[in-house]
Structure 1
Amino acid sequence: MELLNLFLSFLKIGAFTFGGGYAMIPLIEKEAVEIHGWLTTKEFIDILAVVEMTPGPIAINSATFLGYKVGGVLGSVLATTAVVLPSIIVIILIAHFLWKFKNSPYVDWAFKGIRPVVLGLIVSASISVAKNAFIDFKSVIIGGVLFYLISFKKLHPILAIILAGVAGVLVY
């Protein structure tokens, strides 16, 4: 039954989220932490950190990691399949109808309406992660310095991850 819940949860996440992995994070957190209790909030943040450092799409990596935690290798396969299945179906349908509707103003308007929702989901995920990642003043300082270095000094994200790890070891 747990594997079916895992499959249906990630199928729902894959079907109702636009904007990629970052937009899926709040939905994954809700399913994994709040609804099913597969993870604690701390475990979710830890998995999210690993998922963001691992090559590949965030949604697929999240499904694979969480699926493995819940149901081993079979859980990984089911969760990963479920999260990509809606996209595969939609892409096949879009490819079939693309030429017929490519100049439709309705399609253009729909995508313009979806953009703010995607931004909202990404901001929601950021706030959720920040609430649990900033555990004290030292963590706020580390996060703030790295935000500044990445945003304004164009520090490479991989270097930022390494610096954050070193700072964490030194400070904590």
Structure 2
Amino acid sequence: MKMILTLFIRFFQIGLFSIGGGYAIIPLIQEQVVNNFGWLTLQEYTDIITISQMTPGPLVVNTASFVGIRIAGFFGAVAATVGSILSGFIISIFLYNFFKKHQNTESISNVLRALRSSSVGLIASAASTILLLAFFGDTTLNIQSANLNLAAVIVFIFALFLLRKYKLNPILIMVLSGIIGLFLY
């Protein structure tokens, strides 16, 4: 029961500070479940993020559900998921009323621009963590012990090329990458 309450509290806190949502929340969850509590290894967490992206629904909800179920079963998943969305729900209601009242204030517009920039930084951090783990098997780039996974780099470039050049559906790209991964790994 204590673990379920801890999951709820931690994911409620994550939800409170998940400005930008989506990919911006990945480093926040990682900080809690991998770095602070050690509930998951970085590889397990990266696998959960990958699965969360492939399943329908918001990334934070899927990630919270998968982390919760991995740590404390069904009730852990419920606690983590409710915790992650409850804070956002409460904040959204408050902010809706606040912005409706102050929608033409210049200082509010400036705050929103700064928050947008912060979200881009958080997304870049999450992307770099996933790329380093996929390409080098670690999140720190140590030149002396760098072990580049050339197959992962080639699959990445191929997927990026197909997405940008031919505008293929991302789901199709994930399926193709998974099939390629079956043969490569």
Fold agreement, TM-score > 0.5: yes
Alignment match, 2:76 = 75
Tell me if 1:51 matches 2:64. Answer: no
Structure 1 residue 148 displacement after superposition: 1.6
Tell me if 1:164 matches 2:177. Answer: yes
Alignment match, 2:151 = 138
Moved more, 52-61 or 13-22: 13-22
Q: Is the contact between residue 45 and residue 133 of structure 1 (CA under 8 Å) also seen in structure 2? A: no
In proportion to residue count, which structure has more helix?
1
Tell me if 1:100 matches 2:101. Answer: yes
Alignment match, 2:121 = 120
Aligned pairs, number: 172
Question: What is the rounded CA distance, in whole Å, between the counterparts of 2:106 and 2:70 in structure 1?
Answer: 45
Which aligned segments of 4 or more residues in structure 1 are displaced greater than 6 angstroms? none
Say which SS state the counterpart of residue 127 (structure 2) adopts.
helix
TM-score (norm 1): 0.95
The residue identity in structure 1 corresponding to 2:77 is: S
Question: What is the rounded CA distance, in whole Å, between the counterparts of 1:96 and 1:126 in structure 2?
Answer: 33
**What is the RMSD of the two structures over their aligned residues, measured on CA atoms?**
1.2
Gaps of 5+ in 1: none
Q: Is the contact between residue 3 and residue 76 of structure 2 (CA under 8 Å) also seen in structure 1? A: no
Structure 1 residue 50 displacement after superposition: 0.7
Say which SS state the counterpart of residue 55 (structure 1) adopts.
coil
Structure 1 residue 158 displacement after superposition: 0.8
The residue identity in structure 2 corresponding to 1:146 is: A
Question: What is the rounded CA distance, in whole Å, between the counterparts of 1:77 and 1:85 in structure 2?
Answer: 12
Tell me if 1:19 matches 2:32. Answer: no
Structure 1 residue 161 displacement after superposition: 0.3
TM-score (norm 2): 0.88
Tell me if 1:147 matches 2:160. Answer: yes
